[in-house]
Structure 1
Amino acid sequence: MMSLVLSLFPKRLIMQNPTSADIQRVREFLLGLQARICSSLEQQEQLGGGTAEFVIDDWERPEGGGGRSRVLQNGEVIEKGGVMFSHINISKLPASATERHPQIAGAKAQALGVSLVIHPKNPHIPTSHANVRLFVAEPEGQDPIWWFGGGFDLTPFYPDEQDIKNWHQTAHDLCQPFGEDVYAEHKQWCDDYFYLKHRDEQRGVGGLFFDDLNCWDFETCFQYMQAVGNGYLEAIVPIFEKHRDQPYTEAQREFQLYRRGRYVEYNLVYDRGTLFGLQTGGRIESILVSLPNLAGWSYRPEWDADSAEKKLTDYYLKPQDWLNTL
């Protein structure tokens, strides 16, 4: 399925190249998105009785560019959250970028985006991830080659079916102005991408994922990227509000830590963003900020056949048509 979806988004430029002003507009949107997400999540922390805030850490890299990291730790509602902005310059693209794009091997490039992972403390609130980005490569003697990427996905421990349906409804609705098939294609891409092959299970209940997006003109692609970035906040805040104060047991907390271990496995073994950051000499604290402060691994744990824990892996971590199944 991955090859089918990739074929729908050809890696070729079909309109004028983005100008420096276009890239600046993308940068301004991303910084504003980062600030709005952090403000909304801090509000959830405060409503839950916490005082933790996102600490701002501005940084630069020797090769050029830098970023703004915002990290919240040890809150009452959010155990760890990282919302990271970066805009970096790359003098020579690494293998993680050129394997799928041999035409830009060795080219200089710039990449800018916002990436976040939020690990709530309450096991009834899912871990969530979102990412939106623009990539512009400049092969010597050729026109720039650009594309957008991003998406958002949800990783529950004790799934709430209405939450899952609302999450996917938000994803579906934001895709509609861009084409009838966009939601189905990018949902499938998400299911294919966030898959732990060695465990034969999905990372969660999915959402949207897209890359190499330049099949529309630059402005339309940018509008779609904005819709996805804004859609994350629209989808996640109601989940926090619904479950923020829900009681949980120590056993549920232990199961949450166990399942977080699978999240760590995915990010360290499969995630292309992690690999790209490491291969471009990225800032290690920013690259690994997606890892939770606490996680657990148990040897062959077992749960009752009719338990919520068993249903998570046997049903919810299988690709589903969530809009029509629940």
Structure 2
Amino acid sequence: MKDQFYTYIQNLQDSITSKLEEVDGVAKFNEDNWKRTEGGGGRTRVIENGNIFEKGGVNISKVFGELPEALRKQFGVDSGDFFACGLSLVLHPKNPFVPTVHANWRYFEMYDGEGNIVTQWFGGGQDLTPYYLFNEDATHFHSVCKDACDKHSAEFYPKFKETCDTYFWNDHRNEARGIGGLFFDYLKETDEFSMQDRYDFVTEVGNSFLNSYVPIAEKRKDIIYTQEHKDWQEVRRGRYVEFNLVHDRGTLFGLKTNGRIESILMSLPPVVQWKYNHHPEKGSEEAKLLEVLATPKDWIQ
């Protein structure tokens, strides 16, 4: 399973980066291959200063070896080895009317002292973070997510949508990071679903990503914006940074497993503002976004 999934994310990285280069029309991804001393490595691809994408990354990695102390404590074991691989992407567009998007699909195995698999699971999802809200964009993004889920179980979309709303929540701000999407973790083998079933579902979601995001980016990329729009984007990017550094499991996992810092922090936007006690004008488009972020919404009627 680990070889099957790693081959999949290698191919998915190629298809996503080639499509995004085509959409941007100017910038190309720079590739950086790296190795992890304890075992494994990755292939980081970063795009910067493009026509559409101010900064973005589409990274794959596989890491393995002895469980670090932090993970031994988390899993309640005295010793063991692990393997983890995944694809993680974040795109920060230049135009404030194009939303930021994040996605991640990953696989994990843990072994006993004799190399036998003790546990294994899939995790991942994708979510959208707009700075100016277009209801039809939110509906499109969630509809693509739902269609991918419904091919495998009618229960998946409502369950993983709710999990996403709960997970991507800045509780120190009491607001959502964005308008959600899907989030799932610890998808293990059950009486109903084999690990191959889990693989088929996760790859279905991964394959749907470009269709969920590219039409939105292409629709909004040429909207004329002002410095005020850009300032608001950068203020909201600050909330994005806060979530990633305080709450995000993927960031924390990378730091706890001696991950590559440049690849881990690739998710952070290039230019950010923190304004003291900043509040948008009542009734403004900026204020309307905050109203939506205060309570998770059902985007598909």
Q: Which amino acid aligns with 1:110?
A: F
The separation in 2 between residues aligned to 1:29 and 1:180, in whole angstroms, is: 25
Counterpart check, 1:278 vs 2:255: yes
Q: Which runs of 4+ in 1 moved over 4 A?
A: none
> Equivalent residue for 2:9?
30
8 Å Cα contact 2:234/2:271 also seen in 1? yes
Displacement of 1:95 in angstroms is 2.5
Displacement of 1:130 in angstroms is 0.2
Distance 1:66 1:308, change over 3 A: same
TM-score by length of 2: 0.95
8 Å Cα contact 2:21/2:28 also seen in 1? yes
8 Å Cα contact 1:150/1:209 also seen in 2? yes
> Equivalent residue for 2:282?
305
> How many pairs were matched up?
297
The separation in 2 between residues aligned to 1:30 and 1:302, in whole angstroms, is: 41
> Equivalent residue for 2:162?
188
The separation in 2 between residues aligned to 1:105 and 1:183, in whole angstroms, is: 37
8 Å Cα contact 1:153/1:205 also seen in 2? yes
Quick one: which of 210, 221, 246 aligns to 1:269?
A: 246
Structure 2 counterparts to residues 188-227 of structure 1, below 5 A? 188-214=162-188, 215=190, 216-227=193-204
Quick one: which of 177, 197, 218 aligns to 2:151?
A: 177
Q: Which amino acid aligns with 1:248?
A: Y
The separation in 2 between residues aligned to 1:264 and 1:301, in whole angstroms, is: 16
Q: Which runs of 5+ in 2 are unaligned?
A: none
Q: Which runs of 5+ in 1 are unaligned?
A: 1-21
Higher relative CO (CA 8 A, sep ≥ 6), structure 1 or 2? 1
The separation in 2 between residues aligned to 1:106 and 1:253, in whole angstroms, is: 49
Structure 2 counterparts to residues 1-326 of structure 1, below 5 A? 22-46=1-25, 51-96=26-71, 98-99=73-74, 101-102=75-76, 104=77, 106-141=79-114, 143-214=117-188, 215=190, 216-324=193-301
8 Å Cα contact 2:34/2:42 also seen in 1? yes
The separation in 2 between residues aligned to 1:195 and 1:283, in whole angstroms, is: 26
Q: Which amino acid aligns with 1:78?
A: F
The root-mean-square deviation of aligned C-alpha atoms, in Å, is 1.3
8 Å Cα contact 1:125/1:243 also seen in 2? yes
The separation in 2 between residues aligned to 1:173 and 1:220, in whole angstroms, is: 17
The separation in 1 between residues aligned to 2:177 and 2:262, in whole angstroms, is: 23
Distance 1:186 1:277, change over 3 A: same
The separation in 2 between residues aligned to 1:255 and 1:144, in whole angstroms, is: 47
